[in-house]
Amino acid sequence: EVQLVESGGGLVKPGGSLRLSCAASRFTLSNTWMSWVRQAPGKGLEWVGLIKSNIDGGTTDYSPPVRGRFSISRDDSKNTMYLQMNSLKIDDTGVYYCATGILEPTPIWGQGTTVTVS
Amino acid sequence: QSVVTQPPSASGTPGQRVTISCSGSSSNIGANTVNWYQQLPGTAPKLLINSNNQRPSGVPDRFSGSKSGTSASLAISGLQSEDEADYYCAAWDGSLKGPVFGGGTKLTVL
């Protein structure tokens, strides 16, 4: 089954760091544009950032609230994407999803991992 | 606060038709197609409509989408209790250089 599995969430103090992982199964992560999307408690979906496929350069883009603090990377040998979160703020609390094809006909979303900054 | 606006809530009785609007700008909806997602509590979003009005396999034909200019709409006919969920529109935003989601609409089936 094609799937994405996030891990690495947890409780961290303001100003701290955390690294989330997103492991892909049954498809090659580097062949597609991958995004991180978060959802604060009781709030809506918010795009965090993306990493382009290797054929499109593998570059990254970020939403303004996280630019300069978060970074996305990929380990192609592990078929895994990462979200390094530094200088965490209370407002970064929420469920973090990795996803691909958000605006395509066949998106794939992970189940989410919870980050609590407190 | 999202740059794409949805009403925070909507409601209807079983069997009714409900419409949820999604208003954006020339940098997102006006220039790109719209996907609609349904999210049940505690679960990841599920695709309902892609490319403005296309239903993925398995999505009932009670769900339909449309787009005009910088706005889009999701219509649900023959409302059922299991349709009670949060609904989000999404589109690429050329200024953001990423996808933008509407603020979400909580649908209540009375």
Chain A interface includes B12 (CB < 8 A): no
Collect all residues of chain B within an 8 Å Cβ-Cβ radius of residue A111: 44
pLDDT of residue A117: 98
Whether residue B1 has pLDDT greater than 90? no
CA–CA min distance A76, chain B (Å): 22
Are residues A45 and B101, on separate chains, in Cβ contact within 8 Å? Answer: yes
pLDDT of residue A68: 98
Are residues B90 and A107, on separate chains, in Cβ contact within 8 Å? Answer: no
- The arithmetic mean of pLDDT across residues B22-43, rounded, is 97
pLDDT of residue A111: 97
Chain mean pLDDT for chain B: 97
The Cα diameter of chain A in Å comes to 39
First to last CA, chain B: 28
DSSP-derived 3-state class of residue B60 = coil
Are residues A103 and B44, on separate chains, in Cβ contact within 8 Å? Answer: no
pLDDT bracket for residue B48 (50, 70, 90): very high
